Each structure stands twice: as structure tokens, then as C-alpha cells.
């Protein structure tokens, strides 16, 4: 066979091989993205992340500058310091507000988790008249905005003599947090096998003993989520604290507004206080973050 014939025979084979390689490059499996789609996705994620992080970084940046830094950010670089933080911590009522927030948030978290876990377990394991209605009632209470609830709650606390008291504010925050937490924990308890309850009864445990010694240890991820939600509800709420409490009993979220007067706002102190308020919330998040995904997904599988 001549060389010309051999080259002619090899050309169709090479062409078919190239077309196969091109076909393989174009054909993608399920879930695979092209280079353009991947770049667009990463660009979108970067923009979304920058949008979410920028306000926080801006507040932190302004907090290290003078009071007028929010109008002229370049002054922060030339007057970088901790004067705003010294003023907030040493020459304001911030420490009093911090103590109020710690008391209210801690009590709300403990009481809210206890009530929500008990209610969620009872609804998950027991069938009683009004079972489904109670679950829908929990969701219904979450539909009302603060503007609708603040007047009846104020009248109720006034009749009970709980205006301007820690007890009244804690009860108000529990009414916000417990329904949602009970609904979520009910879904989480549904994922725990009932055989564990039966084993506890066989071992002689009472229903409360089974709940306390067997079920709660298994429900740590769900409890972590509810504790975090209860804590944030009390730590960051403004409207109820501003209306139900006097200035001496303000929580941190409500106390920040005292840095803004009718004519002028101390932006340096407000930004510094905002950063300080966020630190405990971030610390609590770090404590429970490894349980958050598990608790949220497990609580949402059944309802």
C-alpha cells in the first residue's frame, strides 16, 4: 500500500477521533456546569457576599473614627482610635443596658427552651383533642406584627403590674419565641424513634424522666437552634423594650437610641455600641453553629 493511500485511510479515523473528543467535551453529566455558568455563579456569590458584609464592615470602620466620620470617611484614617469605645464603656449607661440585656436574654432563653421543648415533645408523642388546632395556632401567632400586639400586651402587663419589670419583658419575649420554637422542636422530636420512649418505660422511667434523660440529650441540635433563636429574640428586640421599660431598664438594642437626640446624633458612639452589641450574639452563634444546620434541617423534615 502506498504512502498516499495510508494517509487517506488515516484522515477519516483522525477526523472521527477529533469529533468524538469534541462530543465528549460538549456532553456534560447531570449537575455539571460550563465554564461560563461557573464564572457567573461565582460572580453572583461574590456580589451577594460583599453586599451582606459591607454594612457590617462599614459600621466597624466608622466606629474607629471621630463623630463626623460618617460624613467624611477619610477622617477615620487620620484619626484612628478607640475614643468612641471608651466613651460608650466609661461615660454612658452602656454597662447598665448590658446587664439588663444579659438578665432578660438569659431568662428568655432558659424559660423559652424549657416551655418549647415540653410543648413540642407533648405534641409529637401525645394525641389529644385540639392537637392539630394547637399547631396551627402556634403558626397563627407568628403572623401578627409588633404594631398589632404592642397595645394589647401593654394593657395586659399594666393590669398585672408588670410594666417596667424584667418579668413582664421576659414573658413578652417568650410569647414571641415559644410558638415558633415549639413548632420546630415538634418536627425534630418526630425524627427520634418512639422505641426510645418505650425502652425508657420498660426501664421504669416516668414520662418526664424519659423526656429529661433520654430524649433531650438526643435533641441537642434542635435545642441549640431554639436557644439561639430565643437569645436573639430578646437580645435584638427594640419595640417592646422601648415601650414597656423605663430608660433605667432598657436593653442594649433599645438603649442605643439614647445616643441620638432630637437635634443631633452621636454617630461615633452609636456605631461603637452597635459593634459591642453584636459581639455577644456572634459568640453565642459560634457556640451553637455546629448544631444549627442539623437542627434546622431535621426540624423541617416533618411537621
How many residues does this entry show for the chain?
303
Domain range for residue 152? Answer: 93-299
Q: Is residue 271 one of the residues assigned to a domain?
A: yes
Q: Is residue 59 one of the residues assigned to a domain?
A: no
Q: Is residue 5 one of the residues assigned to a domain?
A: no
Q: Is residue 71 one of the residues assigned to a domain?
A: no
83-90 vs 94-125: helix crossing angle, rounded to 10: 80
Domain count, the chain: 1
pLDDT greater than 60 at residue 234: yes
Predicted confidence band at 47 (pLDDT cuts at 50, 70, 90)?
very high
Q: Is residue 292 one of the residues assigned to a domain?
A: yes
Cβ pair 170, 240 in contact under 8 A: no
Lowest mean pLDDT among 21-30, 72-81, 96-105: 21-30
Mean pLDDT score of the chain: 82
Which three three-digit cell numbers place residue 126?
401525645
At 260 the three-state DSSP class reads strand
Distances (CA, A) of 189 to 92, 193, 196, 233, 268: 46, 8, 11, 23, 47
Q: Which of 65, 55, 95 is nearest to 267 (CA)?
A: 65
Q: Is residue 202 one of the residues assigned to a domain?
A: yes
pLDDT greater than 70 at residue 258: yes
Which three three-digit cell numbers place residue 58?
462599614
Predicted pLDDT at 81: 80
Q: What is the pLDDT of residues 12-43, one digit of tens each?
A: 544 455 444 444 445 555 666 778 888 888 99
> Cα–Cα distance between 217 and 197 in angstroms, integer?
13
pLDDT greater than 50 at residue 100: yes
Here the CATH number for the domain that contains residue 174 is 1.10.3720.10
Residue 211 contacts by C-beta under 8 Å, 6 or more apart in sequence? 118, 121
- Stated pTM of the model: 0.78
> Cα–Cα distance between 100 and 172 in angstroms, integer?
15
Q: If you compute the radius of gyration of the chain from its CA atoms, what whole number of angstroms results? A: 29
Predicted pLDDT at 77: 67
Amino acid at each position: 500500500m502506498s504512502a498516499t493511500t495510508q494517509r487517506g485511510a488515516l484522515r477519516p479515523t483522525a477526523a472521527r477521533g477529533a469529533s468524538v473528543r469534541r462530543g465528549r467535551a460538549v456532553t456534560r453529566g447531570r449537575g455539571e456546569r460550563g465554564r461560563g455558568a461557573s464564572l457567573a455563579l461565582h460572580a453572583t456569590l461574590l456580589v451577594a457576599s460583599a453586599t451582606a458584609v459591607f454594612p457590617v464592615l462599614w459600621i466597624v470602620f466608622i466606629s474607629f473614627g471621630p463623630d463626623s466620620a460618617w460624613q467624611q470617611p477619610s477622617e477615620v484614617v487620620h484619626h484612628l482610635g478607640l475614643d468612641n469605645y471608651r466613651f460608650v464603656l466609661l461615660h454612658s449607661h452602656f454597662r447598665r443596658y448590658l446587664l439588663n440585656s444579659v438578665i432578660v436574654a438569659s431568662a428568655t432563653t432558659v424559660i423559652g427552651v424549657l416551655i418549647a421543648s415540653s410543648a413540642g415533645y407533648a405534641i409529637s408523642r401525645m394525641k389529644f383533642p385540639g392537637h392539630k388546632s394547637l399547631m396551627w395556632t402556634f403558626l397563627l401567632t407568628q403572623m401578627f406584627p409588633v404594631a398589632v400586639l404592642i397595645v394589647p400586651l401593654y394593657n395586659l402587663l399594666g393590669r398585672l403590674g408588670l410594666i417596667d419589670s424584667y418579668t413582664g419583658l421576659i414573658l413578652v419575649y417568650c410569647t414571641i419565641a415559644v410558638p415558633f420554637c415549639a413548632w420546630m422542636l415538634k418536627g425534630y422530636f418526630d425524627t427520634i424513634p418512639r422505641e426510645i420512649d418505650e425502652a425508657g418505660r420498660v426501664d421504669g422511667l416516668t414520662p418526664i424522666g424519659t423526656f429529661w434523660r433520654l430524649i433531650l440529650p438526643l435533641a441537642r441540635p434542635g435545642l441549640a437552634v431554639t436557644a439561639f433563636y430565643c437569645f436573639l429574640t430578646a437580645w435584638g428586640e427594640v419595640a417592646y423594650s422601648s415601650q414597656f421599660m423605663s430608660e433605667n431598664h432598657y436593653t442594649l438594642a433599645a438603649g442605643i437610641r439614647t445616643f441620638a437626640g432630637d437635634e443631633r446624633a452621636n454617630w461615633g458612639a452609636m456605631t461603637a455600641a452597635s459593634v459591642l452589641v453584636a459581639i455577644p450574639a456572634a459568640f453565642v452563634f459560634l457556640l451553637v453553629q455546629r448544631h444549627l444546620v442539623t437542627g434546622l434541617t431535621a426540624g423541617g423534615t416533618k411537621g
